[in-house]
């Protein structure tokens, strides 16, 4: 998979791309991630990409020309263009899975007061990571890139994410490691029993219990096998 990220602040991605699972996925050829400063697509000598809004109002608006020129330069028949936007579909694990089906993602990071509305004509999907406002789309772009990359075959062990929270509309079950007894807080006996059928049953029951307590809204879409 190839992911191209259009941003005004490419240095924000330095640490993100050079650590942990993302770095390993890049080095192993599982994903190609390019961070592109779309100022270079500006036709103005000073690289300007924003201007005041028609009709007045606070803040600056991203101009359509540099963003659209960047999209057109990068786009292929295999591309899906994503706009990070608080008005978009709220991101979830199902969307992340759906995005892995595409060979090429182009993620546009917004900034300032917003986008020139005409940019939307060149976008396939708008994504929000929650009902709050950030200073720019770089953090949402990282969240999307991270969540998609970990689902690519060979990046991590499939068993590590098949029962993650939200994968089956349930939250994840509680996990423990050594020591078995810490200050009187003991690991449930079933987990040290070696009875894998009982362990599986325990974990599923804990998923349902935890979801009822913390995210009962998810149970509306949960269907037990």
Active site residues: 86, 113, 150, 164
**Token pair of 3, please?**
């992911």
CA separation for the pair 95, 165 (Å, rounded): 14
CA separation for the pair 162, 37 (Å, rounded): 35
φ, ψ for residue 6 (rounded to 5)?
-95, 120
Query: Which one, of 68, 71, 63, 50, lies nearest residue 5 by Cα?
Result: 71
Give yes or no for a contact between 132 and 123, defined as CB atoms under 8 angstroms apart: no
Rg, the chain, Cα only: 22
The whole-angstrom distance between residue 39's C-alpha and the CA centroid of its chain comes to: 24
Give yes or no for a contact between 17 and 23, defined as CB atoms under 8 angstroms apart: yes
Helix boundaries (H) for the chain: 14-17, 20-27, 64-74, 93-99, 138-149, 196-214
């Amino acid at each position: 998979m190839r992911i191209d990220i259009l941003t005004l602040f490419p240095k924000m991605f330095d640490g993100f791309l050079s650590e942990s699972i993302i770095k390993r996925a890049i080095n192993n050829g599982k994903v190609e991630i390019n961070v592109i400063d779309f100022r270079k697509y500006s036709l103005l000598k000073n690289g300007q990409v924003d201007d005041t809004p028609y009709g007045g109002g606070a803040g600056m608006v991203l101009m359509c020309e540099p963003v659209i020129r960047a999209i057109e330069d990068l786009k292929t028949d295999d591309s899906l263009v994503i706009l990070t936007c608080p008005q978009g579909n709220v991101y979830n694990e199902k969307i992340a899975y759906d995005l892995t089906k595409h060979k090429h993602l182009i993620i546009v990071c917004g900034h300032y007061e917003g986008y020139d509305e005409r940019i939307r004509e060149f976008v396939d999907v708008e994504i929000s990571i929650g009902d709050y406002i950030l200073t720019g789309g770089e953090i949402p772009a990282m969240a999307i890139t991270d969540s998609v990359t970990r689902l690519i075959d060979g990046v991590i062990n499939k068993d590590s994410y098949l029962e993650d929270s939200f994968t089956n509309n349930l939250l994840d079950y509680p996990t423990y490691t050594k020591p078995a007894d810490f200050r009187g807080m003991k690991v449930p006996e079933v987990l040290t029993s070696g009875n894998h059928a009982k362990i599986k049953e325990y974990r599923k029951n804990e998923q349902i219990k935890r979801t009822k307590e913390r995210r009962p809204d998810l149970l509306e879409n949960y269907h037990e096998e």
